[in-house]
Amino acid sequence: MSSATAPPTAQAGGTGGQQSGVQEPTPARRRRVDGEWVRRNGVYLALLVLVVINVIITPHFVSEGSLRLQLVQVAPVVIVALGMAMVIGTEGIDLSVGAVMALSAALMPLYLGYGTVGAIVVGVGIGAVTGLVAGVLIAKVGVQPIVATLGIMIGGRGLAIVIGGSIKSIDDPGLVALGTGSFLTIPYTVLVALAAVLVVGFLVRRTTYGRQVVAIGGNRRASLLAGLPVSRVLITVYVVSGLLAAVAGVILAARSQASDPTKIGLLMELSAITAVVIGGTPLSGGSVRILGTVAGALVMQLITSTLISHNIPDSMAQMIQAAVVILAVYVQIGRKGARS
């Protein structure tokens, strides 16, 4: 990403940033120039600081095993956050991801009769279905993204528990291999996440579809006037997010060799949104930052693992995480978001 290019010169150049009548006067603009840098690169800085701290204070942090564990744990968050980043790029939000993970993890073991691949296809397919429902409600009916995905969030997990019952252990050799095996010492789950990064990165950066996504998020009216297929793009974005959430659900179930619909993906929406936001993708849409999102997920993961490896109890860890979320989101969008 072109991070170090010229600072905004709307002032000198003319009318660009001056339009809205309630635009705040000069001081606010000044601050934004500094804030802009933090918003763009703060996540990498935070990642660096966390790594350095851990290298110093956490024993065995720099070891193959530890590194692999970190990556395995962060993989589902990365996968979900990528879809979330695309949704947020269109100025939307997807609260249903955690429930979709539970749903796919609950469904998959029931279809193992069709073979490992068949079960995975079903598990992933349910994500596409829920995404389609959300997308159609949002793009065609005009329901707010937060409302539509909230409905799926509520119903989805309930359905997952109803269908999947309580914890089911998974002993299908294919799934177990997916969850625990590795290729050239890289765990399959990490490879899946890597593949997701590459695919979504390609979608966003290289394809016409990717341009349409950010254009719609950046300026929907202009996109409509430019004849873009706005409804279609919105629907597919939610389908992609649902698909990726379902993939994460499958991976998580395979890794833990169990499907527990009450636990899988719990609060994943919060982790994913936080990863996206601290990665520099604005909640107001118009840009999707892939690397930033990955870094954001890593930051959240490192914070968690640091707390755990130093025997901070769950309770403290949760409270600290909550504070970090608020702080990170505040740095990214504080005082700008809700006021407009």
Partner 1 sequence: MTLTATEKALPTDGGGGAGEVLFDATGVRKSFGGVHALRGAHITVRSGEIHALIGENGAGKSTLIKVLTGVYEPDAGELRFLGEDVQFASPAAAQDAGVATVYQEVNLVPVLSVARNIYLGREPRTRWGTVDIKAMHRKARELVRRLGIDVDVTGELGRLGLGVQQMVALARAVSVDARVVIMDEPTSSLEPREVETLFGVARNLRDQGVGIVFVSHRLDELFALCDALTIMRDGEVVHTGRIEDIDRSGLVSLMLGRTIDDVVGSSTGFTRESHVVEGEPVLSVRGLEARHRVHDVDLDVHRGEIVGLGGLLGSGRSETVKAVYGALQTEGGTVSVDGKQLRRGDVPRSLRSGIALLSEDRKAEGVVPDLSVRDNIALAVLSRVSRFGVVSDKKMDDLVDVFMKRLKIKASSPHQKVRELSGGNQQKVLLARWLCTEPTVFLLDEPTRGIDVGAKREVQALIGELAERGLGVVMISSEVEELMEGTDRVVVLHDGGVSEVLSGQDITNARLLAAMAGDEYTEEDVVAVLGLTDEDTTPQGATDAPQGAADMPQGATDMPQGATDEEER
Partner 2 sequence: MSVTMETNPGIDPEADGPVTDEVRGVRRKARAARFAQQQGALVVLVLLVVVMSFAYPTFASAASFSQIALQASFLAIVALGMTLVIFTGGIDLSVGSVFALGGVVAAWASQYGVVAAIVLPLVVCGAIGLVQGLIIARGGLPPFIVTLAGLLFARGLLLFVTDEGSVTNKVPTGSAFLRLARSELFGVRYTVWLVVVLVLVGVLVQTRTTYGATLLAIGSQEEAAVLMGMPVDRVKVMTYVVSGMCAGLAGLLTASYTASGVTTLGVGMELTAISAVVLGGTLLTGGAGSVVGTVVGVLLLQVIANLINRLGLTDSNWQAVTSGAVLLVVATSQQLLRRAQRV
User: Is residue 97 involved in binding partner 2 (CB under 8 A)?
Assistant: no
Alpha carbon distances (Å) from 205 to 76, 77, 82, 202: 22, 21, 13, 5
Residues 224-263 as x/- pattern, contact with partner 1 by CB under 8 A: xxxxxx----------------------------------
Q: Work out the number of other CB atoms within 10 angstroms of the CB of residue 299.
A: 27
In a 13 Å sphere around the CA of 46, the CA atoms on its Cβ side amount to 26
User: Is residue 202 involved in binding partner 2 (CB under 8 A)?
Assistant: no
Cβ distance to partner 1 smaller for residue 85 or 254: 85
Q: How many Å is the maximal CA-CA distance in the chain?
A: 67
Cβ distance to partner 2 smaller for residue 68 or 336: 336
Residue 204 parent element (H or E): helix 188-206
Q: Cα(321)–Cα(304) distance, rounded to whole angstroms? A: 7
In the beta sheet, which residues pair with residue 187?
182
Interaction residues for partner 1, span 258-297 (CB under 8 A) = 286-287
Residues 166-205 as x/- pattern, contact with partner 1 by CB under 8 A: ----------------------------------------
150 with 134: CB under 8 angstroms? no
Interaction residues for partner 2, span 110-149 (CB under 8 A) = 133, 137, 139-144, 146-148
Cβ distance to partner 2 smaller for residue 12 or 22: 22
Q: Which of 113-121, 219-227, 245-253, 254-262 is the region at the interface with partner 1 (rule: CB under 8 A)?
A: 219-227
Minimum distance between the CB of residue 194 and partner 2, rounded to whole angstroms? 28
209 with 90: CB under 8 angstroms? no
Which residue reads 């409600």 in tokens? 137
Minimum distance between the CB of residue 39 and partner 1, rounded to whole angstroms? 12
User: Is residue 331 involved in binding partner 2 (CB under 8 A)?
Assistant: no
Q: Which of 44-52, 250-258, 299-307, 313-321 is the region at the interface with partner 2 (rule: CB under 8 A)?
A: 313-321
55 with 169: CB under 8 angstroms? no
Interaction residues for partner 1, span 38-77 (CB under 8 A) = none
Q: Cα(128)–Cα(240) distance, rounded to whole angstroms? A: 7
Q: Cα(229)–Cα(212) distance, rounded to whole angstroms? A: 8
Q: Cα(340)–Cα(333) distance, rounded to whole angstroms? A: 12
Q: Cα(333)–Cα(118) distance, rounded to whole angstroms? A: 43
Cβ distance to partner 2 smaller for residue 188 or 238: 238
In the beta sheet, which residues pair with residue 183?
186
Q: Which residues bind partner 1 (CB under 8 A)?
A: 2, 5-6, 8-21, 23, 25-26, 29, 206-209, 211-212, 214-215, 218-219, 221-229, 286-287
Q: Which residues bind partner 2 (CB under 8 A)?
A: 93, 95, 133, 137, 139-144, 146-148, 150-159, 161-162, 221, 224-225, 230-231, 234, 267, 269-270, 273-274, 277, 283, 313-323, 325-326, 329-330, 333-339
